[in-house]
Structure 1
Amino acid sequence: MSGMSGMSGMSGMRVRSPGRTAPASVANTPVHYINGVMPVMDQNRYFHGLLDEFEARYSGRGGEFRYDAQSWYGSDYDKLWLKSEGTVGTSGRFGDGDHEALYDHAISRYFDLQTGVRVDIDSGPTRAWGAVGVQGLALYFFDLEATAYFSDRGAAARLQGSYDILLTNRLILQPQAELNFYSESDRARGVGTGLSDIDAGLRLRYEWRRKFAPYIGVTYSGVFGQAAAMARSANTTVHNVNFTFGIRTWF
């Protein structure tokens, strides 16, 4: 995590006890300076991609496919972060399409500040938002994201969290939840004021390889308040519990 930036810089340091000299093999090793500055590991640039959810969901009412992916490029302190998620129903309609491009800056050992844009692109009307939030590891190593959005249509907020429970070194149980709030309703996109929708799940994955983990689980998706009234008038599902299976991978 970028929040560990405060630790990664120490890997580029060598501590020498008072009164002792470095071994000749170390003392004679040439150091290649960059612009007159000794290189430090936390200034290196890296790329990381995570396909956190790539899954099929089934219930008595039908099924859908869902994905949730993110990637970043940069150093321990500054990154470009891209996020995308969405669903595809049995009708082939693409919904819940949320795509974000964010500048990310480490503000503490465990949290980053993120700011940028969000664009809702799917089978419904397109909406654009400004975004600002935090992402990182909360107390007891909960993965946490809290983001506020703003546009000429009002404001919105999203709170996401997950936690890995290691049953064994490779078998991991992950509870997860995402809550979305809006200050104004948008009937064209099926969102209402206040708490509009929740997507949550309990997934059990097995890390066959560290970068490849199939999983099964139970997921819940529901809409509330005005969004629920809109769903009922459109004769669509308000609350849905699904059997879920998919894969999680990163590189």
Structure 2
Amino acid sequence: MNTPIKKRILALAIATLGATPLFAYAQAHDAHSGHTAMSASSASAVDAASMPGMDHSKMNMPGMDHGAMNMGVQDSGAMNTNSTSAPKPPEAMPGMNHGQDNTAPTAPAHDMGAMGQGSGEMDHGTMQMQGGTAPPDARDPNAYSDGYTLDSGKYSLGPAQRLRMSDEHNFGSVWFDRLEYVRAGSNEGLAYEGQAWYGGTYNRAVLKAEGEVANGKLQESQTELLWGHAISTFWDTQLGIRFDHGQGVPNRKWLAFGVQGLAPYWFDIDATAYVGPSGRTALSLSAEYDLLITQRLVLQPRVEVNFYGKRDEAREIGSGLSDGTAGLRLKYQVTRQFVPYVGVEWTGKFGQTATFARDAGERARETRFVAGLSFRF
């Protein structure tokens, strides 16, 4: 076979292969158009009325008025992309009125006021979120008061009996931190220290008392009547008077100002300054800490020191650091309100106060063994 014939055969094969996809697409398009008899070579548009199952005028879809939908200049009936003839007028397509307004009609507003609760529907017209009078079927606010109401009813409480928060009530407490038997060498006696208070959360009256009893007599005592005011969660300021009593010595009166509370790391602190007649001044500091060995067994170290601004020979007190006490008490908490204990403490007198004690035949240092009880109510 010569070369010209081969070239013709090759060109025919290429043309045949290129036309095959177009032919297949035309068949698929004709099959899809089916009953509409839309031919790929047809030059005229098909009327929508001749398309069974596509009668838009009989499609009753609420809120979807196809007659008012403007599809633009494209005729939905002219579905043949190969058509070269002019589109069919919109009037020829029933149910597809393109000649009306371009904007879609607004759906009718839902009348929520016509939806009654009796029929399971909601009447928004009568609903009020707040304000106004309560509905007739509302719950009675005094239904569970058993007749006790503020202003009316079987047992009217009146405005004087209104409910009050906890910080508006007054409470009271008595606390004896030390009520103990003391033995030092051949000497023995009793000692006490405690306080009582009554009042509210922020303001209260406070009574502090401590002293020693020997041979059935009150040897010495210190009593304070204070007004306590809370300045923070753990601290109170205290302002008032102090009265000192002693066996065979003159009494003393002081103006007291101090703070009492719980320091960081759970140290109980009590610091008070005093001012008395004739220019006398004093300062008392005490601190204690509860070291929990178990949930009930507690070891409590305690330290107390006293300073005086001037010498008081009548009471055998010197200026500066006068005396101090350090002790350990092992406590067992039967309850929080009832705590027996045993312990030991060391007392000492310093400076001129120690000199007064030695001149009177007393020891400036001594060790004491104690056994007692802490309680509160």
User: Which residue pairs with 2:228 in the alignment?
Assistant: 104
Q: Deviations over 1:160-196 (max 9, x none)?
A: 1111111111111111111110001112212110110
In structure 2, the partner of 1:126 is: 251
* Corresponding residue number in structure 2 for 1:195: 321
RMSD: 2.3
Q: C-alpha distance in 2, partners of 1:29/1:178?
A: 56
Q: Secondary structure at the match of 1:121?
A: strand
Structure 1 residue 125 displacement after superposition: 1.2
1:134-167: per-residue Cα shift (whole Å, max 9, x none)?
A: 0000111111011000011411010011111111
Partner of 2:267: 142
Once the two structures are superposed, residues 7-47 of structure 1 have per-residue CA deviations (whole angstroms, 9 ceiling, x without a partner) of xxxxxxxxxxxxxxxxx999977796966986221221111
Match of 1:233 in 2: 359
What SS does structure 1 have at the residue aligned with 2:301?
A: strand
Higher RCO (C-alpha under 8 Å, 6+ residues apart): 1
Q: CA deviation at 1:239?
A: 0.7
Structure-1 residue corresponding to 2:371: 245
Give the unaligned 5+ runs of structure 2.
1-138, 151-157
Q: Which moved more, 1:177-186 or 1:36-45?
A: 36-45
What percent identity do the matched residue pairs reach? 40
Task: Name the SS of the counterpart of 1:140 in structure 2.
Answer: coil
1:42 counterpart SS class: helix
> Once structures 1 and 2 are overlaid, which stretch shifts more, 43-52 or 60-69?
60-69
Give the 3 Å change call, closer, same or farther, for CA 184–25 of structure 1 in structure 2. Answer: farther
1:231–1:109 distance in 2 versus 1, CA, 3 Å: same
How far, CA to CA, are the matches of 1:106 and 1:161 in structure 2? 19
How much does 1:93 deviate?
A: 4.8
CA distance in 1 between counterparts of 2:162 and 2:348 reads 54
State how 1:8-27 maps to structure 2 within 5 Å. Answer: none
Aligned counterpart, 1:211: 337
Amino acid at match of 1:99: T
Give the Cα–Cα distance (whole angstroms) in 2 for the partners of residues 189 and 198 of structure 1. Answer: 17
Q: Deviations over 1:202-230 (max 9, x none)?
A: 00011123211110001111110010000
Provide the secondary structure at the position in 1 that maps to 2:250: coil
Q: TM-score, normalised by structure 2?
A: 0.56
Distance between the aligned counterparts of 1:212 and 1:29, measured in 2? 40
SS of alignment partner, residue 265 of structure 2: helix
Q: 2:203 aligns with which of 78, 92, 102?
A: 78
1-structure distance, mates of 2:142, 2:253: 56
Change beyond 3 A, Cα 1:25–1:115 = farther
Q: Secondary structure at the match of 2:246?
A: coil
2:238 corresponds to 1:114: yes
Corresponding position of 2:289? 163
Tell me how far apart the structure 2 counterparts of residues 103 and 137 of structure 1 sit (CA, whole Å): 18
User: After the TM superposition, which segments of 4 or more aligned residues of structure 1 sit over 3 Å from their partners?
Assistant: 24-38
1:93–1:188 Cα change, 3 Å: farther
Q: Which amino acid aligns with 1:146?
A: A
Q: Distance in 2 between matches of 1:63 and 1:140?
A: 35
Cα distance, 1:62 vs structure 2: 2.0
Cα deviation, residue 248, structure 1: 0.7
CA radius of gyration, larger in = 2
SS for the counterpart of 1:188 is: helix
- 1:42 and 1:164 map into 2 onto residues whose CA distance is 28
Unaligned runs of 5+ in 1: 1-23
